[in-house]
Amino acid sequence: MNLALKLKIFFFYRYVGQDEFGNKYYEQKKSDVQKSKRMVRYNGLPEASKIPGKYHGWLHHYSEKFPSDNEKKHEWQKKHLPNLTGTKYAYSPKNVSENFGRNKENDEYKPWTPT
């Protein structure tokens, strides 16, 4: 994080809390407009899918109260996972090979060439 952003956070924002991924949330100290600005400082790479739903709602002013870890969770709720596409943890169905099921030895595919 660059120095200018650190100074901006120090002077104009107050720390509100942190989520399970280590992302830190801030709210503007003094706001002339009706809604104060809210921001997140990502832990690691800035990936928006790393923000759990309850914190996303707070960031976008769906709720005024900052979410706490003590809130009741239902048995049907799953733990939030960021988008894993492009990582080694991405979902890949069984029986899908590198060549997507094509057998190169018996390949009958012939590309069309215009004449």
Per-residue pLDDT of 43-55, as tens digits, reads 988 888 889 888 9
* Higher pLDDT, residue 104 or 50: 50
**DSSP β-ladder status, 38-41 and 24-28:** antiparallel
1-4 LR contacts (CB < 8 Å, sep 24+): 1/41
For residue 7, count other CB atoms closer than 10 A to its CB: 10
Residues forming a β-bridge with 28 = 13
Q: Is the pLDDT of residue 31 over 80?
A: no
Per-residue pLDDT averaged across 5-33, rounded? Answer: 89
Q: Residue 3 is encoded by which pair of tokens? A: 């120095």
In terms of pTM, does the model score above 0.85? no
What is the pLDDT at residue 30?
80
Is 58:67 a contact under the CB 8 Å cutoff?
A: yes
**Can you tell me the distance from the alpha carbon of 41 to that of 98, in angstroms, rounded to the nearest whole number?**
37
Residues shown for the chain = 115
